[in-house]
Homo-oligomer: A and B are copies of this chain.
Amino acid sequence: MGIRADYVTRPREWIASILAREPRFLSAAQIHQGLERDGARVSLSTVYRTLDRLQAKGDITARPDADGEVTYMLCEPTRHHHHAICRSCGRVEDVDCAAMEQFAESLRARNGFELDGHAIEFFGKCGACR
């Protein structure tokens, strides 16, 4: 009669494995296509539900792309960092940066703006695409 949560299911494992091997932001539809290519048939609903779960757990980062379609990527929540996103292949590289933190703090002092967070993304071409 107690609550038994967090079942380990195949759809969840498959979806996690897709995310684990792609260092870029993927839409729910792209993940669904990846599953089909692997021969794993999972409904789009389940993809969405699993992504919501992973986001609630803090395992993935969600980001609406320029058109407003939401995309997701595995992302360690423990270490604070920013992203460098390749305009050509979409690969995301982490940018761990203390200097940025300092800058944000100085802004608080200067503008009287009570800073409690920031979002930073760099765009360009990664090594492989140049």
Enumerate chain A interface residues (CB-CB to B < 8 A). 62, 64-70, 84, 87, 93, 95, 99-100, 103-104, 107-108, 111-127, 130
- B100–A113 touching, CB < 8 Å: no
Complex contacts, A118 vs chain B, CB 8 Å = 120-123
CA distance A42 to B122 in the complex (A): 38
Query: Could you say which of A62, A100, A111, A113 has the most chain B C-beta atoms within 10 Å of its C-beta?
Result: A113
Complex contacts, A119 vs chain B, CB 8 Å = 119-121, 123
Contact with A124, one of B64, B103, B117 (Cβ below 8 angstroms): B117
From residue A91, how far is it (CB to closest CB) to chain B in Å? 10
- A84–B64 touching, CB < 8 Å: no
